[in-house]
Amino acid sequence: MTETFRKELVQRMTRNLLDIQLLRLIQTQPMWGYKIKKVVEALFGVTLRHGALYPMLNKLEQKGFLTSEKQKQGQRTRKVYTITRKGKQYVEAYAGILKEQLVGSDIK
Amino acid sequence: MTETFRKELVQRMTRNLLDIQLLRLIQTQPMWGYKIKKVVEALFGVTLRHGALYPMLNKLEQKGFLTSEKQKQGQRTRKVYTITRKGKQYVEAYAGILKEQLVGSDIK
DNA sequence: TACAATATGTCTCCGTTGGGACATATCTCA
DNA sequence: TGAGATATGTCCCAACGGAGACATATTGTA
């Protein structure tokens, strides 16, 4: 039961908070879209449609949370994303809330 | 900056994960809709529309995460909600994920 | 050579969600 | 008595987001 709840919640959180999950992942190391898709799917056991992923990455770059650099592998190009200072601050803000929510059965 | 991020994120999380926030709150003590609205607004500094709140509470009851009991205060009735075992399990599953996400800069 | 994997992008339809109004009743206090 | 707070509910329309298709190019492998 708890396991089904878990899956459902992970699915919801990777959907609704996709941007944050992406930032968190890229924070560990610079990464490109396709790699991210594979990692997320392996790690969280959820499908991540590339039709949702790529627009989100571009959006995050527009907002200044990520920067990108094209890397050539022969003829094929990868768009490698790196997190910015602003992006890190966003992730920090998120982590702060998580901490409160964990401690915070102290909601009175 | 971090403060604006914080507010934005709290707003997003109370919207997208409203059900969980409600369960978490009711878990601390049985509560009715109007009180919840006031507490959430005071505590999180976000507006919680009653047009979103009441349908959600009813939905959570239908799903078996909450039970309700009508309490009379003179002629006025309050619908007091209590969390069920199933509801608690859902909150636990959520807490589990939060823990992972906090520790889990270990995403490789 | 043909298929699967790597790699990145757009677009459209459809369903869900949210904002805000509509609705009603009681209670308290000035 | 009239306004504001308490208390719970529904409903509609617009906006947003997701599922899945459309699109294209390279690389590796059977």
Q: What are the boundaries of each domain within chain A?
A: 2-103
Residues of B in contact with A95 (CB under 8 A): 101-102
Q: Where are the alpha helices (DSSP H) in B63-84?
A: none
Is some CB atom of chain A closer than 8 A to the CB atom of B85?
A: no
Q: Is residue B61 within 8 Å of B69, Cβ to Cβ? A: no
Looking at the predicted structure, is the pLDDT value of residue A105 above 70?
no
B92 to A9: CB separation less than 8 angstroms, yes or no: no
Q: Is residue A81 within 8 Å of A67, Cβ to Cβ? A: yes
Average pLDDT for A43-63: 92
Q: Using one digit for the tens of pLDDT, what is the confidence trace for B65-89? A: 999 999 998 888 999 999 999 999 9
Is some CB atom of chain B closer than 8 A to the CB atom of A25?
A: yes
Give the per-residue pLDDT at A3: 83
pLDDT band (50, 70, 90) for residue B104: low
B9 to A99: CB separation less than 8 angstroms, yes or no: no
Residues of A in contact with B92 (CB under 8 A): 2
pLDDT band (50, 70, 90) for residue A104: low
Looking at the predicted structure, is the pLDDT value of residue A38 above 70?
yes
Which residues have a Cβ under 8 Å from the Cβ of B94 and sit 6 or more positions away?
A: A9, B17, B20, B24
Give the per-residue pLDDT at B108: 39
- Give the CATH fold of the A2-103 domain: Arc Repressor Mutant, subunit A (1.10.10)
pLDDT band (50, 70, 90) for residue A43: confident
What angle (nearest 5°) sits at the alpha carbon of residue A77, between those of residues A15 and A46?
20
Which of the residue ranges A5-9, A104-108, B37-41 has the most confident prediction, judged by mean pLDDT?
A: B37-41
**Rounded to an integer, what distance in angstroms lies between the CA atom of residue B14 and that of residue B48?**
8
Return the H-helix or E-strand segment holding A57: helix A50-62
Residues of B in contact with A22 (CB under 8 A): none
Question: When comparing pLDDT for A8 and B91, which is higher?
Answer: B91
Q: Using one digit for the tens of pLDDT, what is the confidence trace for B23-62? A: 999 999 999 999 999 999 998 888 899 999 999 999 999 9
Residue A24, burial from CB neighbour count under 10 angstroms (0-12, 13-18, 19+): buried
Return the H-helix or E-strand segment holding A100: helix A85-103
Looking at the predicted structure, is the pLDDT value of residue A7 above 90?
no
A102 to B98: CB separation less than 8 angstroms, yes or no: yes
